[in-house]
Amino acid sequence: MVLIVDAGNTTITFAAVDMKTKQIVKRFKTDEEKLQADAFKMLNNRPKGVREILLDAWCNVVANELCDRDYVHGEKLFDKAVISCVVSEDEQVLEWLAGKLTEKVIMVDKENSGLDLSLYTAETLGADRMADTVAAIMKYGSKLPIIVFDLGTATTCNVIDKDGRFLGGIIAPGLMTAAESLIKNASKLKSYIVEKPESIIGSSSQCCINSGIVYGHALMVDGMIRKINAELGTECTVVITGGNTELISSCIESKYVYEPDLLLYGLIEIADKNQIL
């Protein structure tokens, strides 16, 4: 059994994977802020004994959620772990945590991703974008080129050319990130909640916000797809993932496939490429 971890800006997903079938057996999510709070305590020159207590507490959470039992100090519950982390404050903590639970820990990077990054400045490429891209090539490699959108805290767009090389992409504020900024900075909008709009023409301030945020984001995605297709001179396969997809799915006019677990399956593929069996 392999442990995979997707540490995003908002939530962290832990999952247990059966590598014989490459299927997720069990998973759970936690608020990133909760782990970061504990991470701060561990990294702020705390005595090793305190750090171990905090790590054992998190090991117990993982054991309860993924293995249906308590954690016994010193035992290894998984054979290996693969981690994608975009929050620098969490990287060390997650590596410590996984090291207590597994025999080997792989933090996703340009060397172990297996991607062809010869056309990109790989030092600036996030582990989440690598994992998304790996999964897209694995699932849709016969339909290159590919555009991959991940609609999360940030909206990322990754482009893979007809030869399977990573070309680059786009990073924009995520749908809810943009909405929260608008609501925060407009004093009379404090009580509004973003929902799917009934019409693009809003009949109230609430409806106008919904239309602007949701249709605005969907039109941005459609526009990016058109521009990328034009630049490459061909129609790309479009894959969309991420927590905000549901809000804009019915507003996107372009043809696409939805893969809710794309990043996690990218981590599984990276585990397989690195002979984690």
Q: Which residues, other chains included, contact 117 with Cβ-Cβ below 8 Å and sequence gap of 6+?
A: 110, 125, 165, 166
Q: Is 168 helix (H, G, I), strand (E, B) or coil?
A: strand
Q: For residue 32, what pLDDT is reported? A: 82
In contact, 46 and 234? CB cutoff 8 Å: no
Q: Is 19 helix (H, G, I), strand (E, B) or coil?
A: coil
- Is the pLDDT at 193 greater than 90, yes or no? no
Q: For residue 189, what pLDDT is reported? A: 67
Tell the residue number behind the tokens 């959470």, with chain if given. 61
Q: How many Cβ atoms from other residues are within 10 Å of residue 245's Cβ?
A: 20
pLDDT in tens, 11-64: 999 999 999 999 999 999 998 888 777 777 677 667 778 888 889 999 999 999
pLDDT in tens, 125-142: 999 999 999 999 999 999
What value does the mean pLDDT of the chain take?
A: 93
Catalytic residues: 128
Bridge-based pairing of strands 102-107 and 78-85 is: parallel
Q: Is 161 helix (H, G, I), strand (E, B) or coil?
A: coil
- Domains, the chain, ordered by start: 2-107 (3.30.420.40), 122-262 (3.30.420.40)
- 58: part of which helix (H) or strand (E)? helix 48-62
**Edge-to-edge order in the sheet of strand 154-160:** 166-173, 154-160, 146-151, 237-241, 257-258
In contact, 215 and 207? CB cutoff 8 Å: no
Q: For residue 30, what pLDDT is reported? A: 92
Tell the residue number behind the tokens 């998984």, with chain if given. 78
pLDDT in tens, 153-173: 999 999 999 999 999 999 999
- Is the pLDDT at 190 greater than 70, yes or no? no
pLDDT in tens, 51-102: 888 899 999 999 999 999 999 999 999 999 999 999 988 999 999 999 999 9
Distance separating alpha carbons of residues 201 and 234, to the nearest angstrom: 33
